[in-house]
Structure 1
Amino acid sequence: MGRRKPPWTLCLDELPYLVASDPSLPSRLQRWIDHGIPKRCLLVLAGSSTRMMHSQFLDRSAPLFGRARKILQLEPMSYAAFCGACELDAAEPDSFEQFSCVGGLPRYWEFVERGADALALADALYFGFAPFMEFEPLRLLRDEQVLGPNALAMLEAIGRGAHRPSEIAARLGTAQTNLGRLQQQLVDASLIERELPWGESLRSTKRVLYRIDDPALRFWFAVYSAHRSRWSALTEAQRRKLIHDHASTVFEDHCRGLFVGAQRYWDRDIEIDIVAPDPEQDDGVLVAEVKWRRLSATERKREHAQLEAKWRRTVLASRHPRVRFTVLDATVLRA
């Protein structure tokens, strides 16, 4: 490359695999970056393993630590991008239920067929003969080099509803203190997400919850793993309800993404779907309830009243007097 006239760009894709085949590569790249790369030339290093890329650039003992001028972490693509790529009507609830089965990773989108619905997609991708997603969690764990049987067991526990560290430890039959390192590995690999209620300090550990953020992986554990042995015995209505219930959790995430700084809030027997800084008034707070169906005017009014009553029972109510309440339903998809 030194013989080529600048400017030029060199891109090395799947860096972790290259490093696995040649462990000296990071040190050689370090020397080249420090002493040999010409001016006005760009070196791009890419990889699909989040945890391994972090170890190459964010670990202080790594040769490439501090050498990256910019680190870009690509996020899953949006629901709008999914509908555009698959030629689906974004305002249709079934389009969103299909999105909830595949999430924002385009590699899964090729299974979306024109004219098919969410149930047909789930059957093809998860429940058919030798389905594509059958061993997907194991592949992801292997790619991220998160090894050991407890990794899959922890994802299974979280995917089936154990979100508190104590609940996860109980499902795995071990002490909570034994799981901290594994939880952090799964967080670093972007396989689970550490969640705190809105307004809680990031340093807090008492109210932390863990959840699976990716819709497809969440579907794998909550629907596929939990029901695969009896899927064919379920009625069509029962299967559609399982997909609908899963889509409702993804729809909550979608609605939170509409507001900067939005998070859930929970405290004992109270849970609020969205709390966020109000974009329409300074020092104000937006509080929202999310329902994955189209509400009538009467239902919307009732949900609004229940949300206000729920908010008054929280400790946040006395700290934030300027509050705007709203109820979001499936008509949000039309926006």
Structure 2
Amino acid sequence: MFIGRQHELIALQRMYDSKRFEMMVIYGRRRVGKTALIDHFLDGKTALYFTARQQNSRLILQSFAMAIAAYFNQPEVDFRSWDNAIDYLVSQARRHAGDKLVIVLDEFPYAAEAEPSLPSILQIAIDHGLKDTNTMLILSGSNQGFMESKVLGVHSPLYGRRTGQIKLQPFDCFDAARFVEHCTAEDAVRYYATFGGTPYYLAQLDPQLSYEQNVAMLCFDQAGLLYEEPMMMLREELKSPAIYDSILQAVSNGCNTPKIIADHIGLEPTSVSFYLKTLEELRLIERSIPFGEKPTSRKSRIHIKDPFFAYWYRFVAPNVTLIETGSGVEIARKTAESAVFATYVGQQFETMCMQWIFRAFRSGKLPLMPVLTGKWWGNNPLKREETDIDVVAAEPDEKKILLGECKWRNTVNETEMIASLRDRIGLIRGYRETTLAFFTKNPVHETTLAKYRNDPDMIFVCADDMFRER
């Protein structure tokens, strides 16, 4: 079952339908669904599809030659160099008539790292041949740093040749919920808080099992497919995986500034900044500042951005010993029932509420354009206390702002919740119109809805409302 990615498919199809040379660059971290996207796009189409492996240049070239021979229905060709292979493709592209000739080089970084001249060879082929043909070249890769510097970067030989790029991201909570479409909204929230939006992780869920059973099977069992997934990904993507693991564990434990993290794991603050930047580029962590503050704000906080990594480091990693002595099912059950997990889900629920805001805007259900988004924390001078705002979205040009409160609790004092958020109006200066949004686990009481039914500046959204149209 293929889910989502409609915007990306439209972009790919637009290139396919054109009558000129196109070059699409698709990248994103492992497991995010790059190959699935390409495969779905190519369904019903013919393409020269080659996936590079971690081999030396000669072996990769031999495999590439076999793919070329199979696609063009030619006897096997023993290309002596990559120049010969790419020149052959150019000659075939010039002869090709009719539909678009699609060439896919998947895991391109493996081939280019084994043969550093490959980007230059492709650049020459494009400039002196392919650009005048009806060819669509797709370069795909999981090594995001390589794709951004060696393919898209200004110093890359291929700079300026691409006609489009897709940095594939994990699904939001609503597309993620389509993997478990028969579950309740509450379980959809718990699933996203646990597995995030990575398609590969979500595809492992068994619809015949409960949430607790799926989590126990995948995460709290030594044989579980996702039991060692974070460490495996760090080993595949990064040098010094033990340092990155230590940083993620520190952030999970509440260390939220570079200095605190460095002190916690025994690194110099100047050194830890490099590792934090890499984890940010992988979208595993995020540096947040209060809405409206300058990027250099000293109030910044670091947290784990990816829900699955946040869950794994918070609940799985500390219990490895118990899991490996056979207590995984019991640990999974206790975790799902704990107040700590409920608090964690509440934190992730704030992210889901922001995702709802973007979807509501696209469907015309929001009174402003969410140009700037985030959350706010700081001092309330009237109350003389520290406070925060869970969700903020603003349209600066129109001086409009939305302030949101997110409550993942079975019961909520609605009067107190509304009064509390009203007290925060004006803490973020420069806006004339304020909309208040209340996101709750369960529907608010009918009397509350009736009281504010005709107030266009009040929005009430419960979990069932959020996931009703998945």
- For residues 71-119 of structure 1, give each alpha carbon's deviation from its aligned partner in whole angstroms, at most 9, with x where no partner exists: 2111212323233233334x52012212222211121123312242222
Distance 1:286 1:113 in 2: 38
Task: Tell me the CA shift for residue 258 of structure 1.
Answer: 2.5
Distance 2:245 2:331 in 1: 26
Q: Of the candidates 46, 52, 55, which is equivalent to residue 146 of structure 2?
A: 52
Q: Of the candidates 115, 134, 140, which is equivalent to residue 40 of structure 1?
A: 134
Task: Tell me the CA shift for residue 200 of structure 1.
Answer: 2.2
Distance 1:189 1:146 in 2: 14
Q: Percent identity?
A: 24
Q: TM-score, normalised by structure 2?
A: 0.63
Question: Measured at CA, do residues 146 and 186 of structure 1 come closer, stay the same or move farther in structure 2, by a change above 3 Å?
Answer: farther
Q: How many residues are paired up?
A: 327
Matches within 5 A, 1:102-117: 102-117=195-210
Distance 2:188 2:356 in 1: 18
Task: Tell me the CA shift for residue 263 of structure 1.
Answer: 0.6
1:332 aligns with 2:463: yes
Distance 1:26 1:145 in 2: 22
Task: Tell me the CA shift for residue 17 of structure 1.
Answer: 2.1
Aligned partner of 2:243 in structure 1 is 150
1:284 aligns with 2:400: yes
Counterpart AA for 1:56: K
Matches within 5 A, 1:1-335: 1=89, 2-4=91-93, 5-6=96-97, 7-37=100-130, 38-89=132-183, 91-202=184-295, 204-230=296-322, 232=327, 234=331, 236-241=333-338, 242-259=340-357, 260=370, 261-267=372-378, 269-277=386-394, 282-296=398-412, 299-311=413-425, 314=427, 316=428, 318-330=429-441, 331-335=462-466
Gaps of 5+ in 1: none
Superposition CA RMSD, Å: 2.6
Question: Measured at CA, do residues 304 and 325 of structure 1 come closer, stay the same or move farther in structure 2, by a change above 3 Å?
Answer: same
Gaps of 5+ in 2: 1-88, 358-369, 380-385, 442-461
- For residues 244-291 of structure 1, give each alpha carbon's deviation from its aligned partner in whole angstroms, at most 9, with x where no partner exists: 333222211110122333211122632211111169x94121111111
Distance 1:23 1:158 in 2: 37
Which is higher, the Rg of structure 1 or of structure 2? 2
Counterpart AA for 2:177: C
Task: Tell me the CA shift for residue 295 of structure 1.
Answer: 4.2
SS at match of 1:190: coil
Contact 1:111 1:124 in 2 (8 A): no
Task: Tell me the CA shift for residue 302 of structure 1.
Answer: 0.9
- For residues 219-240 of structure 1, give each alpha carbon's deviation from its aligned partner in whole angstroms, at most 9, with x where no partner exists: 1111111334346365945542
Distance 2:115 2:172 in 1: 36
Q: TM-score, normalised by structure 1?
A: 0.87
